[in-house]
Amino acid sequence: MFSESWLAERCKAIEVSGVRKAFELARTLKDPVNLSIGQPHFDVPEPIKAAARAAIDAGHNGYTVTQGIPELRERLLADVRARFPGQERDVLVISGTSGGLLLALLAVVNPGDEVITTDPYFVAYPNLVTIAGGRLVTVDTYPNFRLDLEKLKSAISPRTKAIMLSTPSNPTGAVIDAPTQKALAELCRARGVLLISDEIYRAFHYDTPPLSPATHDPDVLGIEGFGKTYGMTGWRLGWAHGPKRLIQEMAKLQQFTFVCAPSIVQWSGLAALEFNVSGIVSDYKQKRDRVVAGLKGYYELEVPGGAFYLFPKSPGGTGTEFATEAVKHNLLVIPGSTFSRRDTHFRISYAAPDEVLDRGIDILRELARRA
């Protein structure tokens, strides 16, 4: 008989994701208006699929070197050198951005070390820090979700090992502006703290060019991915770029955990890097504007600068209560408590066909009128 005593203490500190709960709930509803899913609604572009099929037929089905196939690493290194001229960065092909974040934290966090992030935060951050043995410290960004550097400075302690931020953000879509990114990189350098920049949504900047704090410091660790940009979330492919010594340690840890990113997908990643996603990004900008216009006057919300999420304030009660009421109207959204220590907001994903967005807007308006 299984004994609960067999379970490690870290398991007790990790809860089932509210996002996964929404996935399960979606299966029980008939034709739900699903604005909960945090992944692109478009299919993987055909040239990327063709590259995966070609890789299978060519026999690229075994392990690769841990760092990634040379062809993909060379292409990524060329990208790094073009974006960050004069910096000595190395790259590591990883099994998804979440895998890269975990490797980074395992490489630098000792038991009891602190990792700072903003609140709201990506749902995985608290649990990834827990797995690494660290303690998450949050910096509140309500109500406008802008990073306040004075608050961040106050949160740094002698135990602070890293600051981990996403820009654009999941769940808010907030983008850290250029001056703040520069000041943030300078602060981390002055305090001897590693800055981990989660840039999975880098392609989805709507009002400014893509930005990265790594521009201002070669020691910033960038984590990027293919899943959101090319609709290949289930293919589990990402990459990290940063100081060579840290990349070496992350590669060592990957060798004994994920081993390598999926071999077939690495070859398709080469094709993905040649695919122009500007049309997709333009379409998602229009979706953002469509939903913002549809909810204007009904909800208190900040217009997101990137990603494909809105994070409105619940018009009455908690975010959990609002999401529960939405289910009764066949609408799926995620309560803000999934991403925050507050329960005042809820997350909408506008990665959906326009007709689904319009149905969702109608339901959300009705819910606001009833609140």
Q: How far apart are CA 210 and CA 202, in angstroms?
A: 6
**Token pair for residue 312?**
């409105």
3-state secondary structure of 342: coil
- pLDDT, residue 19, reads 60
Assign 205 to helix, strand or coil: strand
Question: Helix (H, G, I), strand (E, B), or coil: what is residue 199?
Answer: coil
**pLDDT of 12:** 80
Domains, the chain, in order of start with CATH, read 4-44+277-370 (3.90.1150.10), 62-272 (3.40.640.10)
Helix 278-295 and helix 354-370, axial crossing angle in degrees, nearest 10:
20
Query: Could you read off the pLDDT of 201-245 as tens digits, one per residue?
Result: 999 999 999 999 999 999 999 999 999 999 999 999 999 999 999
Average pLDDT over all residues of the chain: 94
Quote the pLDDT of residue 23.
Answer: 60
pLDDT of 10:
86
Mean pLDDT of 288-295: 98
pLDDT in tens, 46-64: 999 999 999 999 999 999 9
Reported as a single tens digit per residue, the pLDDT across 60-83 is: 999 999 999 999 999 999 999 999
Whether pLDDT at 371 is above 90: no
Q: Which two tokens stand for residue 52?
A: 């995966």
Using alpha carbons, select from 77, 85, 133 the residue that is nearest to residue 105: 133
Contact 107, 255 (CB under 8 A): no
Question: Could you tell me the pLDDT band of residue 165, with boundaries at 50, 70 and 90?
Answer: very high
Whole-number pLDDT of residue 65 = 96
* Digit-coded pLDDT (tens) for 21-47: 666 666 677 788 999 988 899 999 999
pLDDT band per the 50, 70, 90 thresholds, residue 185: very high
- The per-residue pLDDT for 26 is 61
Dihedral angle computed from the Cα positions of residues 78, 93, 352 and 343, in that order, rounded to the nearest 10 degrees: -120
**pLDDT, mean of residues 250-254:** 97
Residue 15 pLDDT exceeds 80: no
Q: Give the count of alpha carbons within 13 A of 282, CB side only.
A: 4
**CA-to-CA distance for 154 and 168, rounded, in angstroms?**
23
Strand 238-243 to strand 89-94: parallel, antiparallel, or no bridges (unpaired)?
antiparallel
| For the chain, percent of residues with pLDDT exceeding 90 | 89
Q: What is residue 197's predicted lDDT score, i.e. its pLDDT?
A: 97
